[in-house]
Amino acid sequence: MTSRRRAQQGLALESVVSAYHVGYREMWNILLHRVSPDDRALRSELAGVVGTVWMWIERASSAAADAYGEAVRAEDAARLTLTHRFLGALMGGGPRAAEHAHMAQALGFDPSGMFQAVCAPGQAFTEREMTVLRNRMRCHRGVFLCANRDDVLIAVLQRVPADAFLDALHASSPQVPAGVGLAREGLNGAGVSIVDAMEGLPTGGTAVARSRRTGWPRPCVRSPAD
């Protein structure tokens, strides 16, 4: 239960396991402290249970790690489901409802803030590579999401520089091109930024494609060589 709660709070697994080690170490130190230095028989008995205590530590740490991993996987699955719903809402057009704002907030976004999208060919990334990409981005203080939709990797960023996501993207797949949408305000702007980024993706074998929407500022396009 404690490990699941710590996972939900975002505490690193290493810290959770270390807490168990510290607890058992302190318990052992208290036992040693309460045994008189002259009581050789009791000290000998304590020495004989060192293996048992270490087995307790191993089992408790293993159970904590398993519970932590289960909580993380469940949270990731729930977040991915919500991510797909949110992206579908952004790309569906039409007026934004209160539900869309609630989804944004559940994912950590400020619905009225600035959004920026990045797109890349989704077939370049397996699910494992997507997990690695998300883990690389966890060090940034802003909010982001990314998922594959219809063979396109779509990332939505808030308070995260697009260059930081591109660096993580190319660390996983150095040759993949990417389109970067303009930073735009609000949920409507987030949907438009996705369109920006998708129009910036190479098509028909060309190295770089630009937005075809007349009257719009053109989105930034970055190829691996940039």
Token representation of residue 203: 């098509």
Residue 139 to residues 91, 119, 134, 145, 168, Cα–Cα distance (Å): 27, 21, 10, 13, 11
User: How does pLDDT run across 14-67, given as a tens digit for each residue?
Assistant: 555 566 566 666 666 676 666 666 666 666 666 666 666 667 667 766 766 767
Mean pLDDT along residues 133-158: 89
User: How does pLDDT run across 102-135, given as a tens digit for each residue?
Assistant: 999 999 999 999 999 999 998 878 888 888 888 8
Is the whole-model pTM more than 0.85?
A: no
CA distance 68 to 62: 10
Task: Determine the 3-state secondary structure of 202 from DSSP.
Answer: coil
Cα R_g (the chain), whole angstroms: 25
